[in-house]
Amino acid sequence: MRVDIAALPTWRKVTTIAGLAAFFLLGSTVTIEEMSIWSSAAKTPNSATGQLCELRWMHGGVRYVTAADLNNFRFWYSDIAPLIGILFLIVFFSLASFGELLRDAREA
């Protein structure tokens, strides 16, 4: 599908740019959080550092983190991660529906 950017109404341009920016910003933040857990969390419980909470992720991998890190991780994965897909769908359908409108206008 080819979309002529100049022909897009202003609200579609704003929706597309804001949706893509939020998509990449939230996606990169979730990825950074995930890599931070992977690189810094203990593989076994460590009472000296407070890394006692078990976190299962990445195809069954187990890491031990502090309670604060566990709450932060759950926030990003249960509250924020679903928004990433929703933002992508908003951008996709905004552009896809405009392509259909252009096609219908050309045929009429």
- The backbone region for 60, taken as left when phi is positive above 0, alpha when psi lies in -120 to 50, beta otherwise, is left
Question: Is residue 11 a contact partner of residue 90, using CB atoms and an 8 Å limit?
Answer: no
Q: How far apart are CA 6 and CA 74, in angstroms?
A: 41
Model confidence, pTM: 0.68
Taking Cα atoms as reference points, which of 65, 66, 83, 70 lies closest to residue 29? 83
Q: Are 65 and 51 in contact (CB under 8 A)?
A: yes
Find, among 106, 37, 43, 22, the residue nearest to 69 by Cα. Answer: 37
Domain boundaries, the chain: 11-97
Q: What is the mean pLDDT of each run of 10 residues along the chain (108 residues)?
A: 70 84 89 86 91 83 90 87 84 74 62
